[in-house]
Amino acid sequence: MESLGVHARVDAAGNLRGVYSAAQPNAPRLLIGSHLDTVPNAGAYDGVLGVVLAVALLEELQELRLPFGIEVVGFSEEEGVRFGTPFIGSRALVGRLDNKLLDIRDAHGIAVRKAIEEFGLNPDEIPQAELENNTLGYLEFHIEQGPVLEKLNLPLAVVDAIAGQSRLEFTFLGRANHAGTTPMHHRCDALAGAAEWVGTVERVAQGVPGLVATVGKIDAKPGATNVIAGEAWLTLDVRHCSDDIRTRVVFDLIRQAEEIAVRRGLSVRENTLLSQRAVAMDAFLNDQIEQAILKTGCKPHRMVSGAGHDAMIMAEKIPAAMIFLRTPGGVSHDPAESVACEDIEKAIECGLHLLDQLAASPEFQQRINRA
């Protein structure tokens, strides 16, 4: 960034930022970026590719100045690995890195605030990391982390929306008893009831287009080979781009759990841990991205992101948009994660067309004037 004449700095939340200036001083700016952190035993592209692509776009501009500035942003702590809370960096930009979040502690009892200080930054300066009022929007390139684009044989996609998410825990209660002496028709087997319901979850999800539902964790008590389970605890994760459909499916799965429990002489209770609404990406930017992808000679696929991204946080305050890159084998959060050079070329080409279009767009000019 320094070699491009962009002064790089780290804000008080640990985000790496630098502004490529516009043709006019103090012109509004467009943010382009992604996150710099990742998960343990990760691949090399999740997040950081989007930051490198932002820098590559500046390089390709070859000092050409646009009617708007471009701020490259590399977010810190998107994954939430250390503190169990994601999007710490991007939350600072929308003014949501508050005291409650700063007090969250890691496994060693170190709070976010302390970690920031130990990194040599001042948590009291976090409010200064907030977005300037004249920020035009946020653009994020990111690997798809799934198999869809590879199946379609396409390098790029426009992200229409980031799916809403429900997370619940269920407990089936039955009666623990001797596995050898209790005849099959005398049992109240909590684990067998839970297992029947897991099958229902999969079947229901398969019947609703665009829906994904997962039971990722199960725990049976007392948990012995020769004891019928008296209790089975399990989790449910449901995602869809329509909040109505997601809520309806969750309601239906709760009802089916109750029906299974009653039929088997069990009881079931559930507890909602998270209900997060779907986040739409900006319609104008999406149309512009679609046109830009077309100009690269590729078909612009539109899709929903099943994973959360910084763009979801930025969308609370400014128009946000995402471009997905094909992920070979759909493999991510693993050292085998990769991306094809040709796809990166297409992404840069698409980004340049997009910047070109935005610079020439009357609607974007209006946004610049209003900012």
Query: Quick one: 360 exposed, middle or buried, by C-beta within 10 A (0-12, 13-18, 19+)?
Result: exposed
Q: How far is the CB of 47 from Zn ion (least distance, A)?
A: 4
Contact between 140 and Zn ion by CB under 5 A: the answer reads no
C-beta of 74 vs 123, nearer to Zn ion: 74
Choices 9-17, 43-51, 68-76, 86-94; region in contact with Zn ion by CB under 5 A: 43-51
Binding-site size for Zn ion (CB under 5 A) equals 2
Binding of residue 77 to Zn ion (CB under 5 A): no
Half-sphere exposure of 250 (CA within 13 A, CB side): 26
Contact 23, 66 (CB under 8 A): yes
Spatial contact of 288 and 359, defined as CB atoms under 8 Å apart: no
Q: In the range 205-234, which residues lie near Zn ion by CB under 5 A?
A: none
**Residues 106, 83: contact at Cβ < 8 Å?**
yes
Residues 236-255 that bind Zn ion (CB under 5 A): none
| Cβ pair 154, 49 in contact under 8 A | no
- Of 162 and 241, which CB lies nearer to Zn ion in the complex structure? 162
C-beta closer to Zn ion: residue 47 or 89: 47
Query: Closest separation between CB of residue 45 and Zn ion, Å?
Result: 9
Name the residue nearer to Zn ion (CB basis): 46 or 231.
Answer: 46
Task: Single out the segment in contact with Zn ion by CB under 5 A; choices: 46-54, 271-279, 293-301, 342-350.
Answer: 46-54
**Using the rule CB under 5 A, is 47 a contact of Zn ion?**
yes
Does 18 sit near Zn ion (CB under 5 A)? no
Q: Name which position in 6, 12, 37, 46 contacts Zn ion (CB under 5 A).
A: 46
- Pick between residue 307 and residue 359 the one whose CB is nearest to Zn ion: 307
Q: Do 289 and 323 meet the contact criterion of CB atoms below 8 Å apart?
A: yes
Alpha-carbon span 186 to 239, nearest angstrom? 38
Closer residue to Zn ion, CB minimum distance, 90 or 288: 90
CB of 162 to Zn ion, least distance (A): 12
Among the listed residues 344, 263, 371, 297, the one whose alpha carbon sits nearest the alpha carbon of residue 57: 344
Q: Residue 55 CB: number of other CB atoms within 10 A?
A: 20
- Secondary structure of 280-300 as H, E, C letters: ECCHHHHHHHHHHHHHCCCCC
The tokens for 207 are 């019947």
Q: Which is nearer to Zn ion, 264 or 326 (CB)?
A: 326
CA 327 to chain centre: 16
Binding site for Zn ion (CB under 5 A): 46-47
